[in-house]
């Protein structure tokens, strides 16, 4: 038996485990999706894989699901961070959704010198990542971090994490070499609409873990660049 509806829950999952639903989940499942007791739903929590669960109780303000069998093991993405400078709301939402679908382990909005937006709604972006995982059949939800300064992140850059620095100034010049390290932690960095400042570019070029990468001879919008960079990285070094 399989279930069409997939739901992310913050609750342990296992054989015979009962899972309470909060008000929003009950509204979605019983109000919007018109499900009733006896119907089946696929549950995942980012830790225990995917479980087939039966609706035991359906109410307006809550409900209970009962886990029956595991339908997928937990599939972790590669240890890849997607770092990007937030742009307009809908395009930032798009970047988070695509990063979750394409297999980022963590999503880090970063404030660069030319970043327009000074604030993000982390909770809203995290909800987009959850929704993307529900839609794409994933069993893992990447954490969306709070907005932080790129300079501060670089101050404490982890020694073992390689950085794919997408530099539009190198457009058409450099490619991600297939022989660069596989199976090690990585991050992708995408700049804002205004690109990187000269100070940032110098610092990023000087970072020993940095791999300067071109995404072709045309300048891509940041949202396109995020998808292109994730595709290139996944194809060359990831789990595709």
Site string for ligand SAM, 210-229 (x = CB under 6 A): ----xxx-xxxxx--x----
When binding is defined by CB under 6 A, the residue of 171, 175, 185, 203 that contacts ligand SAM is 171
Output the DSSP codes for 43-64: EE-SSS-EEEEEEEEE-SS-EE
- Minimum distance, C-beta of residue 192 to ligand SAM, in the bound complex (Å): 6
Residues 178-207 that bind ligand SAM (CB under 6 A): 190-191, 193-196
Which stretches does DSSP call E strand in 145-195?
148-149, 162-166, 186-190
> Of the two residues 139 and 209, which places its CB atom closer to ligand SAM in the complex?
209
Size of the site for ligand SAM (CB under 6 A): 19
Q: For helices 122-136 and 89-102, what crossing angle results, to 10°?
A: 40
- Minimum distance, C-beta of residue 184 to ligand SAM, in the bound complex (Å): 22
Residue listed under structure tokens 């030319």: 114
- At residue 199, the 3 state secondary structure works out as helix
Q: Is position 101 an interface residue for ligand SAM (rule: CB under 6 A)? A: no
Give the separation between CA 22 and CA 12, rounded to whole angstroms.
15
Q: For binding to ligand SAM (CB under 6 A), which residues are involved?
A: 166-168, 171, 190-191, 193-196, 214-216, 218-222, 225
């Amino acid at each position: 038996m399989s279930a069409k509806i997939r739901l992310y829950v913050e609750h342990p999952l296992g054989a015979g485990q009962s899972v309470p639903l909060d008000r929003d989940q009950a509204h979605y499942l019983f109000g919007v999706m018109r499900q009733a007791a006896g119907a089946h739903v696929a549950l995942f929590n980012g830790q225990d894989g995917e479980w087939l669960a039966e609706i035991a109780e359906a109410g307006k303000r809550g409900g209970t699901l009962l886990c029956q069998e595991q339908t997928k093991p937990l599939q972790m993405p590669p240890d890849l961070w997607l770092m990007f400078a937030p742009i307009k709301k809908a395009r930032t939402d798009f970047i988070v959704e695509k990063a979750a679908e394409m297999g980022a382990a963590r999503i880090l909005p970063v404030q660069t010198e030319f970043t327009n937006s000074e604030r993000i709604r982390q909770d809203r972006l995290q909800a987009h990542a959850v929704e993307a995982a529900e839609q794409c059949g994933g069993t893992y939800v990447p954490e969306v971090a709070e907005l932080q300064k790129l300079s501060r992140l670089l101050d404490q850059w982890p020694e073992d994490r390689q950085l794919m620095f997408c530099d539009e100034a190198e457009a058409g010049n450099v490619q991600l070499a297939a022989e660069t390290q596989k199976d090690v932690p990585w991050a992708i960095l995408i700049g804002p609409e205004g690109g990187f400042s000269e100070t940032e570019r110098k610092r990023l070029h000087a970072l020993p873990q940095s791999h300067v990468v071109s995404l072709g001879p045309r300048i891509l919008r940041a949202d396109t660049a995020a998808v292109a960079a994730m595709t290139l990285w996944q194809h060359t070094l990831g789990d595709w």
